Amino acid sequence: MILPVNLALAAPLSCESFTHNKTPYIDQSELSALIFGIERRRDEITSLYAYLNEIGSISISYDEFKDIEICLTKKDNRFFIRNRNVLLMALFSRIEHLSSVNNRVKKSEKNRILEILFNGDIYEVGAAIDATAVFKDEAAVDALGRLALESEKEIIIDDVLSALHLIGTETARVKVIELKRVKPNFRDDIDDYLQRW
């Protein structure tokens, strides 16, 4: 989901530096989004990918993540309200040293990420796949495997395979082999991942 880019930030990430880009006008009404789901137009997607590219070029601490989360929650801007989960999941996937975070806090974060993982918005799900891979545990592998089994979207399955490869455990490898049996259309992709294991 996160695209590589050469936009590394020189200063530590702050809410002000992160939300500096101009955001597009959102013409979908809140009622329409509630009834039909979020429908993003090209200019919104372009802005969203600009943020995702910026996020893809950084590493942050958990404290920086929490500061930006608080900031985004306070933003009274439709772009940030609609895309908050996408941005937060992408930011979470860039946290360094998650092992230093309290286990209770990690469990709470994981529960929130897993909830977003299955919510259906393709952009949120894609970012949540990357965030789930941060945990590198059996629960993350199981959740990613379940998502791949339930999805027919090629991009979701490709992202899950990439995340399982990133996790890199034997449990993740077994899950990829399992997916090969039930997702025959993806055998070549799965074989590529297994060869690189």
Q: Are residues 140 and 129 in the same domain?
A: no
Q: Are residues 87 and 42 in the same domain?
A: yes
Of 134, 152, 173, which closes a domain? 134
Count of CB atoms situated within 10 Å of the CB of 48: 21
Q: Are residues 38 and 106 in the same domain?
A: yes
Instruction: Specify the pTM.
Output: 0.85
Q: Among 91, 7, 174, which Cα is nearest to 83's?
A: 91
Q: What does the block give as tokens for 130?
A: 């990357």
Tokens 């992160």 belong to 18
Of 117, 134, 151, which closes a domain? 134
pLDDT in tens, 13-32: 667 766 666 677 888 888 88
Residue 21 has a pLDDT of 66
Containing structural domain, residue 143: 136-197
Q: Are residues 114 and 154 in the same domain?
A: no
pLDDT in tens, 42-100: 999 999 999 999 899 899 999 999 999 998 898 888 999 999 999 999 999 999 988 88
Residue 4 has a pLDDT of 38
Q: How far apart are CA 62 and CA 165, in angstroms?
A: 24
Q: Are residues 92 and 161 in the same domain?
A: no
**Greatest C-alpha distance within the chain:** 48
Q: Are residues 181 and 162 in the same domain?
A: yes
Q: Are residues 155 and 101 in the same domain?
A: no
CB 145 within 8 A of CB 178: yes
